[in-house]
Chains A and B, each alone.
Chain A
Amino acid sequence: DVKVTQSSRYLVKRTGEKVFLECVQDMDHENMFWYRQDPGLGLRLIYFSYDVKMKEKGDIPEGYSVSREKKERFSLILESASTNQTSMYLCASSLQSDITEAFFGQGTRLTVV
């Protein structure tokens, strides 16, 4: 079974804190993605990566950065958390040779107070 694991299900952080969200996949997928999911809105792409040390901005990269030092791990960093970054964060991965199916992690519900 493909597994995409996010390090935390729930996180509460203070405004201004630096926050790290970790995602690990065990299927040797080249592509990895970070989305946020908010009520009434579709999933919005923050950043994606097609290879180690490679990153591309998605639709809403402001206030975020990412790191992909190893193929299996894709980290999302909130440089200085703000209350408008309270959201559900979803990590996904897929094969480069088969983009027709993405596998999602369980999500991290982040609350910034």
Chain B
Amino acid sequence: GQNIDQPTEMTATEGAIVQINCTYQTSGFNGLFWYQQHAGEAPTFLSYNVLDGLEEKGRFSSFLSRSKGYSYLLLKELQMKDSASYLCAALDSNYQLIWGAGTKLIIKP
């Protein structure tokens, strides 16, 4: 079956760095997405990786290893506004998104 695993909740300190991991098992693979969702709001797109390696976008970076079925989202210089859920999703061979349950990130001062 198809499956996405990510931690349910993580806590980090303002100004620090946090890494949110995601492992996936899909039938075929056409890329890995990360979305941010603040409570009560719509998910918003953060990143898309289809090739192995690290992609950096300001304070946020996303990494993919296709051979390991693994990705992570790295958030640097954490700010209080980064408190949100982070959703990992993989695009399968039919170009359908398979979603993880999301990781709730709590930032403490």
Chain A residues proximal to chain B, CB less than 8 Å: 4, 35, 40-45, 58, 90, 99-107
Q: Assess whether A45 is in contact with B96, with CB atoms less than 8 Å apart.
A: yes
Chain A residues with Cβ under 8 A from B33's Cβ?
Answer: 100
B residues 28-51 with Cβ under 8 Å of A?
31, 33, 40-45, 48
Chain A residues with Cβ under 8 A from B40's Cβ?
Answer: 107
B residues 55-109 with Cβ under 8 Å of A?
87, 89, 91, 95-102
Chain A residues with Cβ under 8 A from B41's Cβ?
Answer: 106-107
Chain B residues with Cβ under 8 A from A4's Cβ?
Answer: 42
Q: In terms of DSSP, what is the predominant structure of the interface of chain A? A: loop
Q: Assess whether A42 is in contact with B31, with CB atoms less than 8 Å apart.
A: no
Question: When A100-B31, A102-B97 are in contact, do A42 and B43 touch as well, CB less than 8 Å?
Answer: no
Chain B residues with Cβ under 8 A from A99's Cβ?
Answer: 91, 95
Q: Assess whether A102 is in contact with B45, with CB atoms less than 8 Å apart.
A: yes
| Proximity bits, B5-41, A CB within 8 Å = 1, else 0 | 0001000000000000000000000010100000011
B54 at the interface (CB under 8 A from A): no
- Interface size range of chain B in the complex: 20 to 34
Chain B residues proximal to chain A, CB less than 8 Å: 4, 8, 31, 33, 40-45, 48, 87, 89, 91, 95-102
Question: When A99-B95, A100-B31, A100-B48 are in contact, do A40 and B101 touch as well, CB less than 8 Å?
Answer: yes
Question: When A99-B91, A100-B31, A102-B97 are in contact, do A42 and B45 touch as well, CB less than 8 Å?
Answer: no
Subset of 5 A-B contacts with CB under 8 Å: A4-B42, A42-B101, A45-B96, A58-B96, A104-B43
Question: When A99-B91, A100-B31, A102-B97 are in contact, do A42 and B42 touch as well, CB less than 8 Å?
Answer: no
- How many angstroms between the C-alpha atoms of A105 and B40 in the bound complex? 11
B42 to chain A: closest residue by CB: A104
